[in-house]
Amino acid sequence: ENTMFNVSQFLELRNLKNRFEKNHPKFFPFIRAARKKALMEGSILEITVTPPDGEPISTNLKVQSSDLELLQKLTEVLSQNP
């Protein structure tokens, strides 16, 4: 199995990210602000999803240093040019 991240996968991921950003313009500014001001080791991240039927589901997690490392790497990868 090829586990290398190839250029076509990178381009597809970047295009999907760009489309998501266009469809949800407030999301990435929120994430940037949260990363700068509040997202640190020990922070609690809460997520609620409300489907069309209106029955929400929620969870939370305590941010670990490895979570921050993952977010940093994803940011770096999605900011690169192939």
pLDDT tens column, 70-79:
988 888 877 7
In this prediction the pTM is: 0.66
Residue with tokens 């489309």: 19
Q: CA-CA distance, 28 to 30, in Å (whole number)?
A: 5
Handedness of CA 23, 26, 27, 29 (dihedral sign): positive
Q: What is the pLDDT of residue 9?
A: 85
Q: CA-CA distance, 20 to 16, in Å (whole number)?
A: 6
Q: CA-CA distance, 34 to 53, in Å (whole number)?
A: 29
Parts of the chain with a pLDDT under 70: 1-5, 81-82
Q: What is the pLDDT of residue 3?
A: 55
